[in-house]
Amino acid sequence: MRRTPYFVTGTDTEIGKTLIAAALLDLARERDLRCVALKPVAAGCTAVDGELVNDDALQLIAASGTDLDYRTVNPVALKPAIAPHIAAQQAGIELNAAALSRHCLDALAGEVDFAIVEGAGGWLVPLNATETLADVCLGIGARPILTVGMKLGCLNHALLTASAIAEAGGELAGWVANCPTPEMPVFEQNVVTLRERLVAPCLGVVPYLGGDATYRHAAPYLDIEALLG
């Protein structure tokens, strides 16, 4: 791994983390960078040929162009679309931050120029009784990228998440304002407030692109240069 990996987290679930992660990977590949993307834990998986797979992980594989096998990209695939630690308990699986971190570091050990690890839900989603996905981010030395789902309440959610990242010793690499639904009232004023309050570069403002939008539709709204220094 030539650069510090990035960990894409969000202010909530279903706010476009995968869309943004995949779009950043697409931009990196346009610069001929060798990319890898990982989704260590995924819930809401479906069975394909007897194996549980996750749509988000498949999007990351497509965007990154990685030749890693599916289970390396997504080592923990859980069927119910519920909190991962609860889904893991139901499946008799013990989630462990150290084990997930080791898996990620092993997967990123090759000739990689740009790597993204995508979380599940938000920054403090539990893995077990004492650990969260934040421990995986910190365990692999990744810098968080915050996807802000632009809807009512996002200012509080974004500032709380940024504060939690800082308190944990993380360094926010940047943030993206993404509209998962038609634009919220006083949208521009909310973006201005985020620019004023978040001590990290804004990597882009992505408008509502419709339900059929792909990461290639989002990529033109993002600026990856701050991540390549």
Per the structure block, which two tokens stand in for 89?
Answer: 């308990």
11: left (phi over 0), alpha (psi -120 to 50) or beta: alpha
46-48 and 51-53 beta bridge pairing: antiparallel
Average pLDDT of adjacent 10-residue blocks, the chain of 229 residues: 91 97 99 98 97 98 97 98 98 98 97 97 98 99 98 98 98 98 93 98 97 95 95
Instruction: Name which of 39, 36, 131, 126 is nearest 77 in CA terms.
Output: 39
pLDDT of residue 40: 99
Instruction: Name which of 183, 78, 57, 91 is nearest 125 in CA terms.
Output: 78
Residue 101 backbone dihedrals phi, psi, to 5 degrees? -65, -45
Domain boundaries, the chain: 6-227
pLDDT of residue 183: 77
Quick: pLDDT tens for 64-112: 999 999 999 999 999 999 999 999 999 999 999 999 999 999 999 989 9
pLDDT of residue 229: 76
Per the structure block, which two tokens stand in for 26?
Answer: 């697409």
Choose the catalytic residue: 17, 39, 79, 151: 39
pLDDT of residue 3: 84
What distance in Å separates the CA atoms of residue 98 and residue 110, rounded to the nearest whole number?
Answer: 20
Domain with residues 6-227, CATH architecture: 3-Layer(aba) Sandwich (3.40)
Per the structure block, which two tokens stand in for 102?
Answer: 């080791």
pLDDT of residue 1: 64
Half-sphere exposure of 24 (CA within 13 A, CB side): 32
pLDDT of residue 211: 85
Active site residue 17: no
Q: Please report, for residues 81, 136, 140, the alpha-carbon distance to residue 203 in angstroms, rounded to integers and kept in the order given.
A: 29, 23, 22
Q: Share the mean pLDDT of the chain.
A: 97
Note if the pTM is more than 0.95. Answer: yes
Q: Please report, for residues 158, 183, 193, the alpha-carbon distance to residue 146 in angstroms, rounded to integers and kept in the order given.
A: 8, 19, 15
Angle, to 10 degrees, between the axis of helix 55-64 and the axis of helix 17-30? 10
Instruction: Name which of 96, 101, 38 is nearest 72 in CA terms.
Output: 38
Half-sphere exposure of 110 (CA within 13 A, CB side): 9
33-25-16 Cα angle (round to 5): 170
